[in-house]
Structure 1
Amino acid sequence: MENHANLDSFIGKVINNFRKKQGLTIAEVSEQSNISRGMLSKIENGQVSPSLDSLLRISKTLGVPISAFFKEFDSEGESAQLVRADERLEVVRRGTKVGHTYHLLAYDTGPNKTFEPFLISLDNKSEIFPSFSHEGKVFMYLLEGEMAYRHGKSIYQMKPGDSLTYDASISHGPEDLIQVPIKFLNIIIYGNSDNT
């Protein structure tokens, strides 16, 4: 029974870390996963054994495979990961409500992410996009379309093949969607920025 309690505690910590890394509140995950705030809080604190259905709903909301909740419990994990095009997870992020579509291209193992690669699509030219700010550095590579992208007070005109690297803690976001659809690769790199 002690091992079972350890697993509940481990899963709770992993979920809590994934949620905080994405800047999501318990209320936001609760709404998207259709699990009560109280139950989510108990799961994160290791006070209950979550059902597989609950774990599946939480994994979809956080954009991680359900196996990520268990992977490092009793193994060292794998050194390589293949995610096929039809297996990419569409995930909820802060921009989802305003027209961004996010596909997570790799699932970093364990609760401490070092990076997150996304394929982001913008389809609605008339949509107004807010500013974003979060931890980490970002490498962006434009694959399709054309847009003006704002970082701080600067505006960058981007066409396919252009790349932009920036500090994500500074306000950023699309300024003008010049030619849609727009697709770009966005890699968020976490860690100590003092060593870069």
Structure 2
Amino acid sequence: MDELEIGKKVRNYRTAQKMTIRELAEATGLTASMLSQIERDLVNPSINTLKLISKVLGVPIFRFFKEDMAARDMIVRRDMRKTIGRPEHKDVMYDLLTPDTSGNIEFCLMRIPPDSDSADVSQTHSGEEVAYVDEGDVEITVAGECYELHAGDSIRIPQFTEHSWKNRTSQMVKVIFAISPPSF
């Protein structure tokens, strides 16, 4: 396993809050000298020490153990998107615009072919969804109520609310949506 660099993370979270080592020391009851050694990765802090630091910095303790993301883990190139659906069957296609669903939000592009529905039955998500119609005109039924949306329109769908999309036009519809927490 790669070095976790816990001390470097402590320093980064502390400096992001414009807090000095002395201020962190005072708030945690640790010495500035000990914190300096931790931040330079000369000393491995105990779990209890990390709990103190995480509480003062307002950072969940697991963040100190999580490996830093490289750019390749944050960026999704157009030709490298994960796609759900099969274009040969004229299915609704979903392109994942986030690298994965391990974060706090999921961001997708939904493509609804002409004369198609997003699903045979209404769907619900445990998270809140916000959708933006990027191209085309589409009908969305939310909690039994039908709405017509056009390019540039957006809608918020509360969690656990049944909804479905319908494209009754002869053009492809593209909808960008975010769901938090991820549900795909």
CA deviation after TM superposition for structure 1 residue 183, in Å: 0.6
Residue 96 of structure 2: which of 90, 100, 104 is its match? 104
Conservation of the 8 A alpha-carbon contact between 1:143 and 1:160: yes
Q: Which residue type is aligned with residue 178 of structure 1?
A: T
Letter in 2 for 1:162: D
Q: Secondary structure of the residue that 1:75 maps to in structure 2?
A: coil
Alpha carbons of 1:134 and 1:74: their partners in 2 closer, same or farther (altered >3 Å)?
Answer: closer
Partner of 2:105: 115
Q: 1:179 to 1:158 in 2, by over 3 A?
A: farther
The 1:98/1:131 distance shift into structure 2, 3 A limit, reads farther
- Aligned: 1:171 with 2:166: no
1:130 Cα deviation from its structure 2 partner: 2.2
Secondary structure, aligned partner of 2:76: coil
The 1:139–1:147 alpha-carbon spacing in structure 2 relative to 1, beyond 3 Å, is same
8 A contact 1:101–1:122 mirrored in 2? yes
Once residues 166 and 173 of structure 2 are traced to their aligned partners in structure 1, the CA distance between those partners, rounded to angstroms, is: 13
Aligned to 1:86: 79
SS class of match (1:86): helix
TM-score by length of 1: 0.50
> Alignment partner of 1:180: what SS?
coil
Pick the aligned partner of 2:171 from 156, 180, 196. Answer: 180
The offset of 1:102, in angstroms, is 0.5
Q: Is the 8 A contact 2:116 2:166 kept in 1?
A: no
**CA displacement, residues 8-62 of structure 1 (integer Å, 9 cap, x when unaligned):** xxxxxxxxxxxxxxxxxxxxxxxxxxxxxxxxxxxxxxxxxxxxxxxxxxxxxxx
Q: 3-state SS of the aligned residue for 2:169? A: strand
d(CA) in 1 for partners of 2:65, 2:96: 23
Same amino acid, percent of matched pairs = 23
3-state DSSP class of the match of 2:109? strand
Deviation at 1:136, TM superposition (A): 0.3
Task: Give 5+ residue unaligned stretches, structure 2.
Answer: 2-63
Greater mean deviation of Cα atoms: 177-186 or 137-146: 177-186
Cα RMSD for the two superposed structures: 3.1
User: Shift of residue 188 of structure 1?
Assistant: 0.6
In structure 2, how many angstroms separate the alpha carbons of the residues matched to 1:162 and 1:176? Answer: 15
Whether 1:136 aligns to 2:127 is yes
- The alpha-carbon deviation at position 184 of structure 1 amounts to 0.6
- In structure 1, list runs of 5 or more residues that go unmatched: 4-71, 192-196
Match of 1:32 in 2: none
Is this contact kept in 1: 2:75–2:99, CA < 8 A? no
AA aligned opposite 2:83: E
